[in-house]
Structure 1
Amino acid sequence: MWRIIIADDQKSFRVGLRKALEVGSSGLIIVDVAGASELLGHLRSPLKTDLVIVGSRLLPAGDPTYLGALKRAAGAARLLLVVPHASADLFQDALSLGFHGLIVRRQRPEEMLEAIRTTLDGRLYAPNTILAVKPPEAAPAMRPPERGARTIGLTLRQREVLALIGKGLSNREIAFALNIAEATVKIHVSAVIRMLGVRNRTEAALLAPTILKGKI
């Protein structure tokens, strides 16, 4: 019997996914939670959890400590991230943060069930909209970096986000500038902080000019 936690701030999403799971699968224990601290509480219970489905808006922007606590509490449980839209770069960011795949919030119920089965089976899941365009591993070849620049593993989108962090923009302002969802910005910010090995976005902003000029 699988135990699945659905953690998202939208009740309609939690209820809809729960109903789809109850109709499409059997032998499931489903728990739904609305908040980040509540999620950690359920994960720290003695009951074993097999899969955690986490809405991106529950991840505190610029706070890698929560993500670390989430992964420690989840233990061997698989992690799926719910996002407003998906891209190859975002998929790579999610993997770098320890997730095992993405679910797009507006995917059809049968696609979400496929994502859950794939993840529980021990495989990574990427939405078909990503795979139809190009495989995730091809993302770094989108645009060559400037000559002599060292990207230290950052994708093009991560470099764009880092540049705007360096200018002091908020997540909302970055979302507007790049024409992406604010929840997506939060994921990119967390990935940048993790890959730079800094504690918060302030330290990332201080490093931004040096990194983007390829001096380290």
Structure 2
Amino acid sequence: MSARHTRRDRHLMWTELGDLWEQVQGYLAMLALTLFVGGIATLFGLAIGEAAGKAPAWTFGGLAAVGLAALAVWRWRAAGRTLDTILREEELAAARARLARSLALVDAPAGYVEIWDPHVECIVCSQCGAPVTVDPCPVHGPAATDRAALDGGIPPVSVLARPITAADIRKWPRYFLDGPGRKLAEQTDCRHGYRLTDSCPCCDAEQEPAA
């Protein structure tokens, strides 16, 4: 389950990087268009000034006209690009929602089915009838798998908040011996002075049933 979550996070990260690169490309395109139009306006103004000779008003007038035209073209392109960006972001958000939902359903327990209910006109859970148009069923969907994994392999917060004991390791061996709690177990001694990850003969004798 963790590998699938990592794969989903990696895919979303690359999707966000692609969106950022598209925005950078848009800014570079607008900068190139501005430089191109500005260069043409400058050359056009210099040509008018050289031809007019004694009429500098025509030079400044030509530059102002071309500059206004360039500004109008740039604003028109920027407005169109902004609208395209908004539409593209909405499409990407919808695609991300569909992808996240599909990846979430991979972790759903066996037998979880979503069906169309004509009475309420939406998709519901086949087991309890809860609407699942936005999120999967919180009782029978992927959340049930997550709760089962947590209940079976991770001790509650109340246990981790106090000093752990040998009984805790026997109750949650996967967490304290093979999981993230191993370092905590290696740094804790039992009341007889043995590491909790080692075998204590006194603790083992206390756990043996009386003859």
Range class of TM-score, shorter chain: under 0.3
Structure with greater strand share of residues? 1
TM-score of the two chains, using structure 1 as the length reference: 0.18
TM-score of the two chains, using structure 2 as the length reference: 0.19
Identify which of structures 1 and 2 has the higher relative contact order when contacts are C-alpha pairs closer than 8 Å and 6+ apart: 1
